[in-house]
Amino acid sequence: MKLLVDMNLSPLWISVFAQEGWEARHWSEVGDPRAPDRAIMSWAREHGYVVFTHDLDFGVLLAVTRAEGPSVVQVRAQDVTPGHLGRMVVSVLRQHQALLEAGGFVGVDEASARARILPLSR
């Protein structure tokens, strides 16, 4: 699995994912930090990456466009650092890896995760 870490999350997530054997890149390495969400989604889809974000707009974009990709993992917590959420996120990614590779949306908070197959309904 390949993960694209959005600008609103720390590049420290890259090493968390690498320790699990997943390829990961921070958006700042591959695109304009001021790029709109649509550009990030397009790049991720074209290059086979799952978007890892804290931005609520990615789920909205998937729903409005009824897109079948890219997959998105959205963390919803105040403390989104790897030290706080790392184990939870890794566990959720392992649990939902097949869904994410096929096309899905996973919302993760400090207590639970919710997964949906793409495209999302309005």
Tokens, residue 59: 């789920």
- Asked, for residue 99, whether it belongs to a domain, the answer is yes
pLDDT at residue 121, as a whole number: 60
Encoding tokens for residue 23? Answer: 């390829």
Using DSSP's 3-state secondary structure scheme, residue 38 falls into: helix
- Given this model, what pLDDT does residue 62 score? 83
Q: Which amino acid is at 66?
A: R
Between the CA atoms of 55, 71, 27 and 57, what dihedral angle is there, to the nearest 10 degrees? -20
User: What pLDDT was estimated at residue 67?
Assistant: 82
**Domain range for residue 39?**
2-117
Long-range Cβ contact pairs of 110-115 (< 8 A, separation 24 or more)? 110/77, 110/85, 113/88
69-95 per-position pLDDT tens digit: 899 999 999 999 999 999 999 999 999
State yes or no: pLDDT of 42 exceeds 90.
yes
Specify if 94 maps to a domain.
yes
Rg (CA), the chain: 13
- Number of domains into which the chain is organized: 1
In a domain, 108, yes or no: yes
